[in-house]
Amino acid sequence: MSEKIIEEFEISPFTMAILPITYGSKIYSEIIEVDNRCISPFKPLEIMKNSCEYYGASYEGRKNGTRRLIGITHKAPIMVDPYSSIYFFPTTSPMNPDCIWLSLNHVLHHERSSSNNTLVTLRNKQTLEIPISLSSFTNQLRRASQLQIKYYQHIENMDNKYKRTGFYLNMEASERKREYDYKRFFEE
């Protein structure tokens, strides 16, 4: 793995974790991806907010969506991008400078460590010792899973509703179908 400082970063399906690190007197982020590690001069929460906007929604909007879907308001998991199935959850309050954000889809295994923290194994077999109790970690992981499931249930319900009404059957273009003579355009 290489570690470099980057100026711009958006969470992607390959992002596994965002950890706060102290750099001088400031809080930066260490970003762990499947095959890369880098440092960003932005705090983890700023990266979350920027990434939500990159995918077309505000962080506050995503938080409100979590509240509406599963009723969670504190330490809420965030659906960064539902189309890419990017769901992250915080280990503490996102306002806490020690908050770590983890990708739901990259947590492979978790267990109590010897120091009462949680040892997390990521999808690429890398392990992180997170300063959170096993029960709190399990609860946060469960909330993020619940958010993902509830979102997919809403999409499925909507699909079923429109299938029952026949909406999908009427989505054909109204113009007549015909073959286009492409040669005509290039010969003129």
Q: Which residue has the higher pLDDT, 185 or 149?
A: 149
Residue 187 within any structural domain of the chain: no
Residue 18 contacts residue 47 (beta carbons within 8 Å)? yes
Locate 144 and state its tokens: 């993020």
Q: Are strands 86-90 and 101-103 parallel, antiparallel or unpaired?
A: antiparallel
Name the pTM for this structure: 0.84
Domain limits for position 84 = 3-163
Q: What are phi and psi of 38, to 5 degrees?
A: -150, 170
Across the range 86-102, mean pLDDT stands at 97
Asked whether residue 32 is assigned to any structural domain, the reply reads yes
Q: Evaluate whether residue 171 is within a structural domain.
A: no
In a domain, 173, yes or no: no
Residue 181 has pLDDT above 80, yes or no: no
Average pLDDT for 107-115: 94
| Backbone φ, ψ for residue 96 (5° rounding) | -70, 130
Q: Which single residue is written with the structure tokens 């570690």?
A: 3
> How far is 104 from 54, CA to CA, in rounded Å?
19
Cα gap 109→115, rounded to integer Å: 17
Q: How confident is the model at residue 133 (pLDDT cuts 50, 70, 90)?
A: very high
Number of domains in the chain: 1
